[in-house]
Amino acid sequence: METRNVYGAPATPIAVRPQCLLRATKWEQPFPAEIRAALKMANISGERFGLLIDVQGRTVRRWMEEENPASIPYAAWAILCRLAGLGDILENEPLTPEMPDACSTE
C-alpha cells in the first residue's frame, strides 16, 4: 500500500479507505499504513499523538506495526481523523477525499 520515492519523483499519497471513516457501529479498522498516513496528514508524530490522547508512544507504534498490529480504539482513530482533516466521524459525516474508482474505465 505504501510507495517508496524514486529520487526526484513525487511521493504517491496513501489514501484512507472510506470504510475507516464511518461511525463506530459501521467502521472498519484502519490498516497500519492508513494510521501512518493519517499521522502524516495531521503533521504529527506518533509520540506526540500518544501524548495528546494520553497513551504511551509504544502503544501508537504498535498500531502502526505491519506484522501483528494492535487495534487502534475507535475514539483515538476519530481524534486522529479530525486532526488529519478527514472529518469528524463521531458526529458528522466524514469528509471522504475524492478518490478515483478502481473499477472506473475512464
Which pTM does this prediction carry?
0.74
Exposure on the CB side of residue 6, measured as CA atoms within 13 A:
1
Mean pLDDT rounded to a whole number for the chain: 82
Task: Report d(CA 67, CA 64) in Å as an integer.
Answer: 9
pLDDT at 62 over 50: yes
- At residue 78, the pLDDT reads 96
pLDDT tier at 71 (50, 70, 90 boundaries)?
A: very high
Question: Measured between alpha carbons, how far is residue 88 from residues 12, 95, 96 in Å?
Answer: 25, 8, 11
pLDDT at 38 over 70: yes
Domains of the chain: 18-83 (1.10.260)
pLDDT tier at 95 (50, 70, 90 boundaries)?
A: low
